[in-house]
Structure formats: structure tokens, C-alpha cells
Amino acid sequence: MKTGENIYSRLFALANQAKAFREVFDRFWIEEPTRRPLAHHTYFIREVSLVNAFDNFLFLFCSRNLWSAGGTGAWATSCGVKGPLKSLSNGDQIDQLITLLSDHPEAATKILSLHKTEVEVAHMTYELDHIANILDLFSRSMKEIQI
């Protein structure tokens, strides 16, 4: 069974990997405008799939609705964990998540550690695997067009 620390470490690593891949692609996009048509699908992955892959974890840490109306707050409080960690804001989900995980490592780990049942762990694993799969597709897409 994954622990909160394991989930936190993998999520943080995936977010940083996503940021690094995105920076490589963004540099290509700026420096090689004539090759942009080759990267149409890679751009779709970068602009939509990659960013959205992090939404569920960001909402877990930040959604007032989830923490209030969804019952997470009462359950977490009964376990000695407080949230949400910050308010959701407009902006890039990857950067927001990296900042949140950097600024609140202990609190994020505690929130992730609350998820202990077989289904909860399976869901957390599924979410992490989904992010890893999107990163793999993004990487393969960049290699395919020689970025």
C-alpha cells in the first residue's frame, strides 16, 4: 500500500518533470515557428492534457467545495488534518501544484496519508499513473517530431 510520503514524492516528481518537458516544448515553440505545424498534436497535449492531468490533485488540496460540502473537511479534521491548503486560483495547474507541494509538504503528505483504504489507494495510484501516461505521450510526441 502506498503511503502519503510515497504519493507526495511521486506527485512532486511528476509535476517537476511536466514543468521541465513543457519548458523544452515552449523553447521549441518560440525558436522554431516554421516547424509548429508538425507539433500540432504535441501542442494539444501540452496545452490541454498535460495541464488537466494535475487538476484532480489540485482540487484535492484546494477545493473549498470539496472540503466543505463534500465532507472532506469534517473527515480530515476528525483525523487531525486541516485544509484546504490554499484557494484555487486562475493559472497553470502544474505551477500551482509545485508551489503548493513546496510550500506545504507536511500538510500535503498528511492529506495524502488520509487515503488508506484499498479503493482510495487504487484511486490515488490511478491518478498518478494517468499523469505518468500523459507525460510519456508528451515525451514520445516531442521525440517523434525531433524536439
Question: Tell me, what's the pLDDT at 88?
Answer: 67
Question: Tell me, what's the pLDDT at 2?
Answer: 66
Question: Tell me, what's the pLDDT at 114?
Answer: 87
Per-residue pLDDT of the chain in tens (147 residues, 90 and over written 9): 468 999 999 999 999 999 999 999 999 999 999 999 999 999 999 999 999 999 999 888 887 777 777 667 777 777 777 767 777 667 789 999 999 999 999 989 988 998 888 999 999 999 999 999 999 999 999 999 999
Q: Is 23 helix (H, G, I), strand (E, B) or coil?
A: helix
Question: Tell me, what's the pLDDT at 27?
Answer: 97
d(CA 6, CA 10): 6
Q: What is the separation of C-alpha 118 from the centre of its chain, rounded to a whole number of angstroms?
A: 21
Alpha helices in the chain (DSSP H): 4-31, 40-44, 50-52, 55-62, 64-68, 72-78, 93-103, 105-113, 118-144
**Which letter does DSSP use for residue 38 in this model?**
G
Question: Tell me, what's the pLDDT at 98?
Answer: 95
User: Taking the alpha carbons of 118, 2, 123, 107 in that order, is the dihedral positive or negative?
Assistant: positive
Q: Residues near 52 by Cβ (< 8 Å), separated by ≥ 6? A: 93
